[in-house]
């Protein structure tokens, strides 16, 4: 099998995620874009694991999922707190920590 | 040159540390004891020097009966670091025992005198504490068997001198004079310190025997450097030109202090140092020449200053400088002069202390007036003081058979015997100095004791000069009166010394034979009368006659006349202070100002500019922290991109 399609898909997903993080203001969307980037990585890992015929990449993919799950828990909790304080989910409104 | 054959002390000399212990004990008790010791403090203060004198006499006779006249008492090892080992020991030999007897003898008399002189001073206990401290330090100075111990004593006497010059602390002039003395001495001490450093680096030892034993192998350059550095040290302590300026101001201290420290003992420490270092000086004609020049210049310098001073103590202080100039001159002449330097030093200790105590006695009777223009006609009123002062006067100007004649003339002869142009110049200076001495001492005599009484009318104005000392009798007209017995007897005993010391030491070459083993014997011996001696005597009589014409025949004006340029210069200490101020102090001030400016603008400026630049830059860079998550994300993105790109570049 040729990995090129998998890698291409992975890159496309990663770029979508990255651009989303950079350009979107809504915290939820930013969050989802981060998940998209993580999953693009997972795809690449799994594809290469399959290519090389060992399980290392798959194991790492599981790790990434676990980390992503934990991150979602913390991140959504923070989002909730910010939303309660500011009545807004825009990341630009949470800009107090600056010079 | 004879080398010292030092042997371990035996018999009575094993206890030579007692000499230091007595006055040190007195000082500790009096200074730490506080007011509790006020009532009997002065008695302890007198008992300690007397005890030291008694032990000094025992040691002296023990030494006389011993064939090994240089005995070393090792006390303990003072310092042992690496190559440096300094044993603390006391060396009793002919030279040091001479000083011990002078210090404890004259010291005891002056302590007894002070009991009367300071009777009304509430701080008398502190005074005696300092005086005992001085004696302890001075004895350490002359007894130590190494240069470091000598240095400790040297600094100790400097400290005691500082404390005693500034004894009347509430008087600004006294405080300033004390500081001046301390600082001027510090300059000289630097010379002595460097000399000790040099000894250690060259010879690895600072003991007298060690240094003198190896100085010959060090080359003449080292010996010359050592000789000049020691001369610098001696100049500071002995008030020789160019470090002479402090001695005249040091007269701010109580009169017994002037007599003991600034006439008889401490200021002669420089001469002791030079004579003690004779094996070093033997190797360096250059340093010896420098020493003679310093001595000759100082003896004229002090004598000229003495001529113009109206303050009796300052006139005597100028005289002290001048007489120490003679000793320094003699010390520079090598073995021909050492013995006479020390003999003159001992005789000078008697007559100058006597003169100072006489001056103190006059001040005691005159409401602490020191201006001789307000004296006059006191001979009848203070007969005992008058007679003792007159004997001291005859001794200092060198009238035979008084002691100055016997001890000063050999110095003049030795200067001429040096030969060559330098010998002639030095000898001529010494003769002229003797004549000037006769002039100013006659002036002091005439102004103080003879002529009309210039004080009765003057004192009515109710403002006696210098009557701020406690113990001064109350302001108003002075009632000159003879001093109490405790003050008179020391003066009488010192007068006996002024009369007899010179003849006793010089006649029959007694002192030459005694001191010779330490310093070397004078190469030629003279009779009592010599051509230069007769010429000197004639000049002395002429100068005394001139003084009579100026101050005896005509009345002395109560206010100083303006005077000729030389008189004006001499009144200002021959511009010694002005010279120091313009050549040393002002440039020093400019240097410090320049340094402060450079420090503020240069060093601090550099540091401050750097700090401001960093602060300003970071203030601007801070603006990057906008607080917007997306901008951070963007920078992370670019960072990661760069990282990846770099990895690719490196890999490929």
Comparing alpha-carbon positions, the chain A residue that sits nearest to B631 is A22
DSSP letter, residue B377: S
- Structure token pair of residue B438: 């006769």
| CA B580 to each of CA B90, B126, B172, B575, B585: distance values in angstroms, whole numbers, following the listed order | 38, 33, 20, 8, 6
- What pTM did the predictor assign? 0.79
Size of the A and B interface in Cβ pairs below 8 Å: 32
Interface test with A, best of B633, B637, B644 (most A CBs within 10 A): B633
A23 CB neighbours in chain B (<8 A) are 630
Judging contacts by C-beta atoms under 8 Å, the chain A residues touching residue B630 are 21-23, 25, 91-92
**Mean pLDDT estimate for chain B:** 88
**Does the pLDDT at position B627 exceed 50?**
yes
Q: Residue A5 CA to chain centroid, in angstroms?
A: 21
- Identify the CA nearest to B130 among candidates B190, B93, B94, B178: B178
The structure tokens listed for B182 are 């301390």
- According to the model, what pLDDT value does residue B463 have? 42
Cα distance between residue B490 and residue B110, in whole Å = 7
Per-residue pLDDT at B473: 44
Instruction: Answer yes or no: do A22 and B623 touch at CB < 8 A.
Output: no
Place of tokens 């594809």: A47
**Can you tell me the mean pLDDT for A82-99?**
84
* pLDDT above 90: percentage of residues in chain B: 59
Complex ipTM = 0.83
Q: What is the pLDDT of residue A99?
A: 76
Concatenated DSSP letters of B207-248: BHHHHHHHGGGG-HHHHHHHHHHHHHHHHHHTT-TTS-HHHH
Per-residue model confidence as pLDDT tens digits over B233-277: 999 999 998 888 899 999 999 999 999 999 999 999 999 999 999
Q: Pseudo-torsion of CA B339, B342, B345, B346, nearest 10°?
A: -100
Taking the C-alpha atoms of residue B617 and residue B609, their distance in angstroms, rounded to an integer, is: 12
CB contact at 8 A, B9 and B72? yes
**Do the Cβ atoms of B630 and A22 come within 8 Å?**
yes
pLDDT of residue B368: 85
Q: Which residue has the higher pLDDT, A36 or A3?
A: A36
pLDDT at B181 over 90: yes
More confident residue, B3 or B431: B431
Phi, psi angles (nearest 5°) of residue B85: -125, 120
Please tell me the distance from the alpha carbon of residue B151 to that of residue B140, in angstroms, as a whole number.
Answer: 9
Residue B573 tokens, joined: 């200490």
- Is any Cβ of chain B less than 8 angstroms from the Cβ of A13? no
Tell me the C-alpha to C-alpha distance, in Å, between residue B184 and each of B230, B237, B246, B445, B478: 15, 9, 7, 31, 36
Strand partners, B207: B146
Distance in angstroms (rounded) separating the CA atoms of residues A95 and B6: 91
Q: How far is A92 from chain B (nearest CA, A)?
A: 6
> Closest approach of chain B CAs to the CA of A57, in angstroms?
20
| Tens digits of residue pLDDT in B508-517 | 788 888 888 8
Q: Given a cut of 60, is residue B469 above it in pLDDT?
A: no
Tell me how far apart the alpha carbons of residues B539 and B436 are, in angstroms, rounded to a whole number: 9
pLDDT band at B1 (very low <50, low <70, confident <90, very high): very low
Residue B465, pLDDT score: 45
Q: Which two tokens stand for residue B320?
A: 């002290």
Q: Which two tokens stand for residue B72?
A: 């070393």
């Amino acid at each position: 099998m040729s990995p090129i399609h998998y890698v291409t898909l992975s890159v496309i997903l990663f770029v979508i995620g990255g651009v989303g993080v950079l350009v979107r203001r809504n915290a939820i969307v930013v969050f989802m874009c981060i998940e998209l980037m993580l999953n693009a990585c997972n795809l690449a890992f799994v594809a290469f694991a399959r290519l090389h015929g060992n399980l290392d990449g798959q194991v790492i993919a599981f790790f990434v999922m676990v980390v992503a799950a934990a991150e979602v828990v913390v991140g959504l909790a923070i989002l909730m707190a910010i939303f309660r304080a500011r009545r807004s989910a825009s990341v630009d409104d949470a800009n107090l920590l600056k010079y | 040159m004879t080398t010292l054959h030092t042997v371990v002390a035996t018999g009575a000399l094993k206890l030579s540390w007692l000499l230091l212990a007595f006055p040190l004990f007195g000082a500790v008790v009096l200074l730490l004891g506080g007011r509790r010791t006020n009532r009997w403090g002065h008695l302890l203060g007198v008992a300690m020097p007397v005890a030291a004198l008694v032990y000094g006499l025992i040691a002296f006779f023990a030494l006389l009966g011993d064939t090994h006249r240089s005995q070393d008492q090792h006390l303990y090892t003072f310092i042992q670091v690496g190559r440096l080992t300094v044993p603390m020991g006391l060396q009793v030999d002919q030279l040091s025992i001479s000083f011990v007897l002078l210090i404890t003898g004259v010291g005891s008399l002056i302590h007894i005198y002070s009991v009367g002189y300071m009777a009304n001073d509430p701080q008398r206990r502190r005074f005696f504490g300092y005086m005992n401290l001085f004696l302890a330090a001075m004895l350490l100075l002359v007894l130590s068997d190494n240069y470091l111990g000598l240095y400790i004593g040297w600094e100790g006497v400097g400290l005691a001198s500082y404390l005693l010059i500034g004894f009347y602390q509430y008087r600004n002039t006294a405080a300033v004079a004390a500081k001046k003395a301390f600082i001027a001495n510090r300059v000289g001490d630097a010379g002595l310190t460097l000399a000790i450093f040099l000894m250690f680096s060259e010879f690895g030892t600072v003991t007298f025997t060690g240094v003198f034993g190896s100085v010959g192998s060090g080359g003449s350059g080292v010996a010359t450097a050592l000789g000049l550095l020691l001369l610098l040290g001696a100049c500071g302590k002995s008030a020789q030109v160019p470090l002479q300026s402090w001695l005249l101001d040091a007269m701010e201290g109580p009169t017994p202090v002037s007599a003991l420290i600034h006439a008889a003992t401490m200021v002669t420490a420089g001469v002791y140092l030079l004579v003690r270092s004779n094996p070093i000086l033997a190797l360096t004609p250059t340093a010896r020449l420098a020493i003679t020049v310093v001595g000759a210049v100082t003896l004229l310098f002090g004598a000229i200053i003495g001529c113009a001073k109206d303050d009796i103590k300052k006139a005597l202080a100028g005289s002290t400088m001048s007489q120490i100039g003679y000793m320094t001159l003699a010390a520079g002449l090598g073995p021909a002069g050492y013995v006479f330097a020390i003999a003159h030093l001992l005789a000078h200790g008697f007559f100058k202390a006597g003169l100072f105590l006489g001056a103190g006695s006059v001040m005691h009777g005159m409401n602490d007036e020191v201006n001789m223009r307000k004296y006059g006609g006191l001979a009848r009123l203070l007969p005992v003081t008058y007679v003792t002062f007159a004997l001291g006067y005859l001794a200092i100007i060198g009238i035979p058979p008084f002691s100055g004649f016997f001890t000063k003339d050999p110095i003049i002869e030795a200067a001429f015997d040096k030969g060559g142009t330098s010998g002639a110049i030095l000898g001529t200076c010494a003769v002229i100095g003797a004549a000037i001495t006769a002039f100013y001492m006659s002036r002091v005599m005439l102004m103080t004791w003879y002529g009309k009484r210039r004080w009765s009318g003057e004192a009515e104005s109710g403002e006696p000069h210098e009557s701020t000392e406690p113990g001064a009798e109350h302001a108003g007209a002075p009632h000159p009166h003879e001093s109490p017995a405790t003050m008179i007897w020391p003066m009488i005993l010192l007068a006996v010394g002024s009369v007899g010391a010179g003849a006793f030491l010089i006649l029959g070459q007694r002192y030459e034979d005694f001191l010779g083993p330490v310093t070397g014997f004078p190469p030629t011996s003279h009779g009592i009368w010599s051509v230069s001696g007769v010429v000197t005597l004639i000049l002395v009589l002429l100068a005394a006659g001139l003084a009579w014409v100026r101050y005896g025949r005509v009345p002395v004006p109560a206010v100083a006349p303006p005077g000729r340029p030389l008189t004006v210069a001499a009144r200002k200490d021959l511009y010694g202070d002005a010279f120091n101020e313009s050549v040393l102090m002002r440039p020093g001030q400019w240097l410090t100002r320049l340094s402060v400016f450079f420090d503020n603008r240069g060093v601090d400026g550099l540091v401050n500019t750097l700090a401001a630049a960093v602060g300003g830059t970071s203030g601007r860079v801070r603006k990057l922290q906008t607080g917007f998550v997306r901008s951070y994300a963007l920078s992370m993105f670019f960072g990661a991109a760069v990282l990846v790109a770099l990895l690719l570049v490196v890999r490929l």
